[in-house]
Amino acid sequence: AQSVTQPDIHITVSEGASLELRCNYSYGATPYLFWYVQSPGQGLQLLLKYFSGDTLVQGIKGFEAEFKRSQSSFNLRKPSVHWSDAAEYFCAVGGLSGSARQLTFGSGTQLTVLP
Amino acid sequence: NAGVTQTPKFQVLKTGQSMTLQCAQDMNHEYMSWYRQDPGMGLRLIHYSVGAGITDQGEVPNGYNVSRSTTEDFPLRLLSAAPSQTSVYFCATRQGGSSGANVLTFGAGSRLTVL
């Protein structure tokens, strides 16, 4: 079965600083990788996804993520954080067969942005 | 276009009571699912359905019941609520019944407290 690890429970950055949120996955076949964001009291919204091709994917709100197969990682980055980016971020992995047809989520990283 | 609508948004139950969380979608998505979100544990899949009349268990199905009589609706039933079921519940849908590569669309969530 697949799994996702987000090692950082909580990250605090200053507005304007760069951001990297870590995500490691375990899956035996080609993974489909996602980053979702959850603002307080809201549902989850897709930031970006990786299916195949270019390993650097661009998403909404200026976010990008890089798929590194050798490291089983899919880290999320943003060059300059805005106060509105404060939220919880979830990495998820899915696939085309077996239990991977159901998405598996990491435990989330809570981002705090200081003024 | 409402997307995924969950009701109620908030509910307080006493131990042993029953209730149904409603999920309705107007996107004609084949796949519907229920997740629960608990602090530090991310989202865990409770039940899912790949089409009307078809349901299956996820990671944490005990204590919950589902049915799918129409494409639009996927209610989640708690037959005898327990304090361990205190959580935030999300309904999520996607196109394509069996592909883990497709993007999930989430409802806004239902916060349930069991006393």
**pLDDT tens-digit readout, A64-75:** 999 999 999 999
Task: Pick from A91, A105, A109, A110 the residue to mutate for testing the B interface (most B CBs within 10 Å).
Answer: A105
pLDDT tier at A58, thresholds 50, 70, 90: very high
- Beta-strand (E) ranges in chain A? 3-5, 10-14, 19-21, 24-26, 32-38, 44-50, 56-58, 64-68, 73-78, 87-94, 104-105, 109-114
CB contact under 8 A, B90 and A102: no
Is there a cis peptide before residue A115, judged by omega within 30 degrees of 0? no
Residue A34: CA atoms inside 13 Å, Cβ hemisphere, count?
A: 23
pLDDT at B103: 86
**pLDDT reported for residue A48:** 95
Please say if the pLDDT value at position B10 is more than 90.
Answer: yes
Return the SS3 of A69. Answer: helix
Work out the percent of chain A whose per-residue pLDDT is above 70. Answer: 97
- To the nearest whole Å, the CA of B90 is away from the closest chain A CA by 7
Nearest CA in chain B to A34: B103
By mean pLDDT, which of A19-28, B16-25, B92-101 is the weakest? B92-101
pLDDT of the residue at A94: 85
Q: What is the pLDDT of residue A9?
A: 94
Is A101 an 8 Å CB contact of chain B? yes
Residue B69 vs residue B100, higher pLDDT: B69
Q: How far is A45 from chain B (nearest CA, A)?
A: 7
Enumerate the β-bridge partners of residue B10: B111
The residue in chain A having the minimum alpha-carbon distance to the alpha carbon of residue B48 is A102
The pLDDT value given to residue B99: 64
Residues of B in Cβ contact (< 8 Å) with A46: 103-104
**B84-108 average pLDDT score:** 86
Task: Indicate yes or no: CB of A102 within 8 angstroms of CB of B100.
Answer: yes
Chain-chain contact of B100 with A106 (C-beta, under 8 angstroms):
no
pLDDT (0 to 100) of residue A12:
97
Residue with more model confidence, A14 or A27: A14
Residues 27-66 of A with CB under 8 A from B: 32, 34, 36, 41-46, 49, 51
Q: What is the mean pLDDT of chain B?
A: 92
